[in-house]
Structure 1
Amino acid sequence: MAAATDIGIDLGTASILVYAKGKGIVLKEPSVVAYDKDSDKVKAIGEEARQMIGRTPGNIMAIRPLRQGVISDYVITEKMLRYFIQKSMGRRGFRKPRIVICVPSGVTDVERRAVEEATYQAGAREVTIVEEPIAAAIGAGIDITKPCGNMIVDIGGGTTDIAVISLGGIVVSSSIRIAGDNFNEAIIRYVRKNHGLFIGEQTAEAVKIKIGTAYQQPELMTMDIKGRNVVTGLPKTVTLTSEEIREALVDTVSQIVEAVHSVLEKTPPELAADVSERGIVLTGGGALLDGLEEVISERTGINTMTAENPASVVALGTGEYVEIMADFERR
């Protein structure tokens, strides 16, 4: 990767991160596009568009063109990619960049081709696709080229990718469409059912970050939230506790733990022994949920830790992937 115009993109359901060679992460924005149906034009992209979610007039829609790690709106994804590529390359973007972009490990060939095609359309000279768990492992500082088993659980916004990696490849993996967004949905459902209050996605996200937990905590945390009363339709404030949020998230967290368990069951014995010795590494924004490490450790009996800056590791790994694999192949 000689040229300075080589970039790695973590194309996430919730946010997009761009890594530039020699500069680190140059851009992190929500993967949201505000779109005007009447004039057929894109109004805003990224953070500006995210602030419009749930607050737009009828003709403007704030959409996430990626659903569960997969392109659900091709044209808009391409526009969004083009915008982020240009923004991250700045003025000197006259040479088309070589782009490494990552996809969840469970995507089909058709979905993979759609990502590749959209990246070319957005202005790439060359496109390399890398699977998310591999990028996550590289970004977390694991040497994936050794003949040794490492287990990565990458919890994004739309998908959770679980994989055991050895010798630069994925040996066993599973990709489930349950992740950070499902935590938010579970909180929204719980608050509506137990408090008779409608809240939006942004409020749920704030609750998850501030008092969300997957494991019983010694002391209760509380948070006041505002929403709309289901019965009267008027604004109302309620106080939520961290224990309530744990209860709200129990099912979603269990599904992730079950998936980790089933990948361990399919792992060859030698690699399983490596994993139990080295532990499980959590990456992705969803890994920031308090108490997730404890729940996975307790259910699997394997030490579980979260990578440093878990939300950025996939982008970092995507940026370093080409060099690492080139070295590996030259050996």
Structure 2
Amino acid sequence: MEGYEGRTDFSFLPEGVIANILSLTTPLDACRSSAVSRAFHAAAQSDIVWDRFLPNDLDDFICRSKPGGLNFDPITCSKKEIFFSLCNSPLLIDDAKKSLSLDKQSGKKCIMLGARDLSIVWDDTSVYWTWESHPESRFGEVVVIVRGCWLEIRRKISSGMLSPTTTYATYIVFKMRERKYFGFHIDFVDAMVGIVGSEHSVKTVCLDSYMDDVIMFQHVSRAGSNHLPTNNMSRLEGPRGRHDGWFEIVLGEFDNKGGDDEVEIILKKVRCTFSKNSFVFQGIEIRPKINPE
């Protein structure tokens, strides 16, 4: 079955065979193949294809979701509909303290840990932190710094919750109360991410949502303060806006090989120059690192 220029014409194959071939690719490739021919378009809608892209443990995640929390019917919806529902509408699990979603390009699992699912020093002390509902958060509550110098957030999760043989990046997801905040443009935060028992990636991040303010503050204050960092601000990574209106910054990366490993995430600043406030913390997201094409 040779076509022009010596290329194989797969359109003559039975639809089931084409579907099996597409199931060995990626969700992005399957969507692109729909434009090749009618045969490919039909095969690309097949449950054979999209069932392969869904997590093997999806039923377990569904059991961990709250009653009535599904945005799809597992029985009547097609596998493709379920896949894109999980891409576009994260599934809340474990008493709505975590969420599961899928990466559209790869189909890999993305896990977000809500603030209530994390260990946050002094989060039960209203002088320093307050718990609030937020209309733009996927979780029931966010936590807000009222006044505090000490920032320490920790969590360990099983690598089995994630997709194996995948490089993951970990992000903190947050907001500031507009520009009515203080402290984060002066004190930077240390982040550590890695598999327990192995070497962790370590980096320093700036949680100021408005990096122009950080650069300006350093420029006008360098001569009069010995508390400001000496590193080049142009090399310090700052937050970037998300499509959902929040900010995020990558804390670190790790290779998930699967098995019984635990992933440890630490965000810490215990020696601070100034008190901080108005930091609205939604959670920490762990999602696959996608290389640009």
In proportion to residue count, which structure has more helix?
A: 1
The structure that has the greater radius of gyration is 2
TM-score by length of structure 2 reads 0.22
Ranked by relative contact order (alpha carbons within 8 Å, sequence separation 6 or more), the top structure is 2
TM-score by length of structure 1 reads 0.21
